[in-house]
Amino acid sequence: MLTAGQAAIVTGASSGIGRAIACALAARGARITLVGRSAAKLHETARAAGPAAQVLTADVTDEDGRARIAAAAGPALGVLVHSAGAHERNGIATLNAASLRRMAAINLEAPLLLTAACLAPLRQGRGQVVFINSSAALRPGYAEVLGYAASKAALRAAADALRAEVNPDGIRVLSVFPGRTDTPMQAAILAAEGRHAGQGALLAPADVAAMVLAALTLPATAEVTEIVLRPMRKL
């Protein structure tokens, strides 16, 4: 259960869903470590989140970066949010090993290895782990998403396995599957498709953050394992 003063780490906090979740956690009194690769963008998030937020520039795919993030957790970690991710457009005809490795590195390996690095403080804090996944893991809704969907589907399975392992320690594990959301990543996807989203056609990052916060604030007697969101209007 989320309480004021708890330590929280949010990766991918530079923009989009990660930024929205960080701000929502800060508003509830959490002490936030904002993780991303762009110091300038992280400082923008810190200004929005308030004085309880600190910036940590790190690459989650790098072992040294993960070690520095884990060190920032302190002795007890209340919330670990994995919002960093990567998308590359490819179908079966254009798929290649390098692209698969890049997406697996950030979408699958990095969140699992960072969770492992933070396991001791998560156990001490009876913390909560949140994986920001994608609706593509459940039902790919557009073409040329093969590698991305595969990495996200694997992350779902890994989260389920993790939950079975750490629930006895009092750690809750949540997977969130947003549909198309108004983020820089989605803007790039739509541009590649030659499409434009009209007003209100996409989820707002704050919509996703609100659902995550609702799950995190549940009493310890309950656990939300998966949340699926989609825009109300079809794009």
Catalytic residue among 148, 149, 158, 182, which?
Answer: 148
> From CA 38, how far away is CA 70, in angstroms rounded?
19
Q: Which two tokens stand for residue 220?
A: 């310890």
Nearest CA to 216 out of 77, 98, 111 is that of: 77
The Cβ-side half-sphere exposure at 29, using a 13 Å CA radius, reads 7
> From CA 99, how far away is CA 181, in angstroms rounded?
23
The SS3 of residue 14 is: coil
Q: 27 and 48 in contact (C-beta within 8 Å)? A: no
The Cβ-side half-sphere exposure at 126, using a 13 Å CA radius, reads 10
Phi-psi region of 227 (alpha: psi -120 to 50; beta: other; left: phi over 0): beta
148 in active site? yes
Q: 82 and 114 in contact (C-beta within 8 Å)? A: yes
Q: 84 and 41 in contact (C-beta within 8 Å)? A: no
Q: Any idea which residues carry the catalytic annotation?
A: 148
